[in-house]
């Protein structure tokens, strides 16, 4: 036997500190169990005796211990390291006082085998079985490789820790055998200490004021999956239920409907799985193969869940490098990963790690399972969340954004398309272009935010036409190909350069004034109002003709009363007669038909602007002399009566 038994955690930690002190290395690493596998007695000793660990890097995944304790430890020279930020070290990471090693959870075992290989690892383990084997507790899948890799191992044997079933199972799709239980012999440890302490519990349920919304999200997911149900209504899917209240709500919805799933293969799960398991709603159990079991790496729940799993052969607890391996995940037909996020962009970039440019969490296994599910036959990666969040000051913010702020950590890129679900519906972003992605995302955003998001989205590359009219390529009469598209707030600098290229006469015909100056037309506040503040394509629409980052022409439509919009046009003075006005009129007409415009009108200088008068007449507008000003013509036309001329570049 190798192990040395000590009477207390404090005694064991003195051995740990002494062992680390004798190591000559610039990178001393102590591994601690994280998540609900944390050992409060060990962490308390560290907080109160951190000076004995000065210069030691303490590696832990998801620190749930008290933030003030870790802050005190850092002040005495301890350096926290984490691949998944928890509340215990969140502020320290943002202050640069703790290290965040960003990586997919499937890569964590490699971290602790290589650069972050611990000299000392502490394990929170079950009591031994008759063969002297212990299993590695609530954080087993993550702890296993680190403890195995460590030079010096400490076992904290907790009488209240369940012991996982230990078995060996064949997996036909990969032709491999897997040992379950994350077990080790107690004789492999250098120090053994026994405790009898309550386990950390972390049930995930929605806040009281969010239960109805979370239930709506779960119902949308259930409805989507139900399309694949068999004649009895059961689902062929294998589920991954990620961290958060919504995955639990999905399990609850399935249980309430008495609908079964094929299996569970999940990096972690909480009590939601119990609802399915105890109601006999996990069909593929009891067989001899690996996938005939509920596969999991670690658990976040309460004692009810923990002890249901105690020595239960239906549960296969595996090291994380297997559970989170997309190459293994993909062999589950109809694999469904269900994860949440802090925010999502309208083009499908998922940001589950940062909030307001500050680190809040990490990718965890989100990307592992999204990739594995996307590779699975019939599989789907779902990102589910509530469409808004309430800030501390009570204001409501949208969790769907046009673009993420600079520095945001995208945990799933737009190149791995997912299905996004909020309480307002489902947006399937797979196999469609960015414009369709945006349109779908707008439908599941909070209604109060849809108009704003649509407006901000129109500035994105290739999707200026979102929620209005798509960009189109048109030809001028001189043969030049130009882009005709909706204007955006990012056009301000080009408009500022465009206006000086209007002659004095053109400025007069456009603005119906002889004294208007370029300075007043390019005033920043004016341009911001026209191309940002009021540009919503509801009360105010604007379109530009552009070539090589230069504006050649602009048209506006302003709502003056219900259904009535006033038009204005301009084009670069050296491009008269090139058909720019005609193209702009065509796109205004297409937009008007889509947006419910009833009538267009305009005031046009009768003598000074004959080209504009001719254009309106070509479209069958009525052109009448203004009774109050004989220099002006009053132009108006009902959308039912005006007619696009032949050759108009219409939308498809």
Q: Are residues 361 and 434 in the same domain?
A: yes
Taking the C-alpha atoms of residue 612 and residue 448, their distance in angstroms, rounded to an integer, is 39
CA-derived radius of gyration, the chain: 32
Q: Which of 149, 173, 195 is the last residue of a domain?
A: 195
Average pLDDT over residues 295-319: 97
* CA of residue 607 relative to chain centroid, distance: 58
405 and 311: one domain?
A: yes
Please give the Cα distance from 203 to 212 (Å, whole number). Answer: 18
Query: pTM score, two decimals?
Result: 0.84
Structural domain of residue 567, as residue ranges?
472-638
Structural domain count of the chain: 3
pLDDT digits 0-9 by tens, 86-101: 999 999 999 999 999 9
DSSP state of 403: S
Q: Which tens digit of pLDDT belongs to each residue from 379-403?
A: 999 999 999 998 777 778 999 999 9
- 250: domain CATH number? 3.40.1080.20
In a domain, 90, yes or no: yes
CB 305 within 8 A of CB 282: no
Q: Quick check: 103 pLDDT over 80? A: yes
Give the residue-averaged pLDDT of 332-346. 97
The tokens describing 493, both together, are 């600098």
Q: Count of H helices and E strands in the chain?
A: 21, 35
- Whole-angstrom distance, CA of residue 79 vs CA of residue 68: 14
Instruction: Identify the pLDDT of residue 536.
Output: 85
| Dihedral angle sign, alpha carbons of residues 392, 393, 398, 404 | negative
Same domain, 128 and 229: no
Same-domain check for residues 445 and 526: no
For residue 466, tell me if it sits in a domain: no
Residue 396 inside a domain? The answer is yes
Quickly state the pLDDT bin for 208 (edges 50, 70, 90). Answer: confident
Asked if 371 and 250 sit in the same domain, the reply is yes
Residue with tokens 């990102």, as numbered in its chain: 383
Same domain, 87 and 130: yes
Question: Are both 405 and 429 inside the same structural domain?
Answer: yes
Between 477 and 652, residue with greater pLDDT: 477
Q: Does residue 467 form part of some domain? A: no
Given 431, 457, 483, the domain boundary residue is 457
**384 and 423 part of one domain:** yes
* Token digits of residue 555: 């048209």
| Same domain? 410 vs 284 | yes
In a domain, 155, yes or no: yes
Distance between start and end Cα atoms, the chain = 79
In a domain, 297, yes or no: yes
Compare 630 and 48 and report the one with higher pLDDT. Answer: 48
Q: Tell me, yes or no, whether 426 and 476 share the same domain.
A: no
pLDDT computed for residue 202 by the predictor: 83
Q: Let me know whether 275 and 423 are in one domain.
A: yes
The answer to whether position 643 is within a domain reads: no
Residue at a domain's end among 144, 172, 195: 195
Assigned domain for 646 exists: no
Residue 487, domain CATH: 3.40.630.30
Is residue 235 located within the same domain as residue 191? no
pLDDT digits (tens, 9 = 90+) for 422-449: 999 999 999 999 989 999 999 999 999 9
Q: Give the tokens for residue 178.
A: 């897997």
pLDDT at 539 over 70: yes
């Amino acid at each position: 036997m190798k192990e040395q038994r000590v009477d207390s955690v404090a005694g064991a930690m003195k051995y740990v500190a002494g062992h680390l002190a004798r190591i000559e290395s610039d990178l001393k690493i102590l591994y601690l169990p994280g998540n609900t596998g944390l050992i409060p007695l060990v962490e308390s000793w560290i907080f109160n005796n951190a000076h004995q660990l000065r210069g030691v890097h303490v590696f832990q995944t998801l620190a749930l211990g008290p933030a003030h304790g870790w802050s005190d430890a850092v002040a005495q020279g301890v350096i926290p390291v984490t691949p998944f930020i928890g509340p215990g070290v969140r502020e320290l990471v943002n202050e640069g006082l703790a290290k965040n090693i960003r990586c997919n959870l499937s890569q964590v075992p490699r971290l602790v085998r290589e650069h972050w290989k611990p000299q000392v690892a502490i394990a929170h383990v079950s009591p031994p079985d008759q063969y002297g084997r212990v299993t590695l507790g609530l954080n087993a899948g993550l702890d296993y490789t680190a403890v195995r890799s460590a030079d010096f191992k400490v076992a904290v044997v907790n009488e209240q820790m369940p012991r996982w079933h230990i078995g060996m199972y064949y997996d036909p799709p990969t032709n491999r055998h897997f040992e379950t239980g994350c077990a080790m012999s107690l004789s492999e440890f250098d120090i053994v200490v026994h405790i009898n302490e309550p386990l950390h519990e972390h049930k995930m349920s929605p806040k009281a004021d969010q239960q109805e919304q979370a239930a709506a999200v779960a119902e949308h997911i259930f409805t989507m999956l139900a399309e694949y149900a068999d004649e009895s209504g059961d689902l062929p899917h294998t589920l991954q239920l990620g961290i958060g209240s919504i995955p639990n709500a999905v399990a609850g919805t399935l249980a309430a409907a008495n609908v079964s799933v094929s299996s569970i293969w999940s990096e972690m799960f909480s009590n939601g799985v119990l609802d399915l398991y105890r109601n006999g709603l996990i069909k593929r159990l009891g067989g001899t193969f690996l996938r005939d079991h509920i596969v999991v790496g670690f658990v976040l729940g309460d004692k009810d869940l923990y002890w249901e799993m105690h020595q239960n052969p239906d549960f296969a607890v595996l090291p994380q490098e297997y559970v989170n391996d997309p190459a293994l995940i993909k062999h589950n037909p109809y694999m469904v990963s269900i994860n949440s996020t802090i925010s999502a962009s309208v083009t499908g970039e998922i940001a589950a790690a940062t909030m307001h440019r500050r680190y809040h969490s990490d990718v965890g296994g989100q990307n592992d399972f999204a990739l594995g599910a996307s590779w699975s036959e019939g599989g789907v990666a779902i990102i589910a969340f509530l469409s808004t969040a309430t800030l501390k000051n009570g204001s409501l913010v949208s969790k769907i954004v046009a673009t993420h702020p600079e520095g945001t950590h995208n945990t799933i890129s737009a190149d791995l398309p997912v299905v996004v679900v909020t309480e307002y519906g489902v947006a399937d972003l797979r196999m469609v272009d960015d414009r369709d992605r945006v349109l779908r995302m707008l439908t599941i955003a909070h209604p109060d935010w849809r108009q704003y998001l649509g407006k901000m989205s129109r500035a994105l590359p290739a999707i200026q036409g979102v929620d209005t009219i798509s960009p189109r390529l048109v030809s001028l009469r001189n043969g030049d190909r130009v882009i005709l598209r909706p204007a955006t707030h990012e056009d301000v600098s080009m408009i500022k350069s465009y206006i000086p290229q209007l002659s004095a006469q053109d400025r007069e015909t456009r603005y119906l004034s002889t004294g208007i100056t370029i300075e007043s037309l390019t005033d920043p506040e004016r341009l911001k109002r026209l191309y940002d503040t009021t540009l919503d394509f509801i009360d105010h629409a604007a379109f530009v003709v552009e070539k090589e980052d230069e504006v050649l022409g602009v048209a506006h439509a302003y709502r003056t009363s219900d259904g009535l919009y006033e038009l204005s046009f301009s084009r670069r003075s050296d491009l008269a007669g090139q058909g720019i006005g005609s193209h702009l009129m065509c796109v205004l007409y297409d937009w008007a038909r889509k947006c419910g415009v009833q009538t267009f009108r305009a005031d046009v200088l009768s003598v000074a602007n004959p080209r504009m008068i001719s254009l309106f007449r070509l479209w069958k507008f009525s052109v009448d002399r203004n009774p109050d000003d004989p220099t002006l013509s009053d132009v108006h036309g009902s959308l039912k009566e005006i007619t696009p001329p032949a050759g108009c570049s219409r939308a498809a």
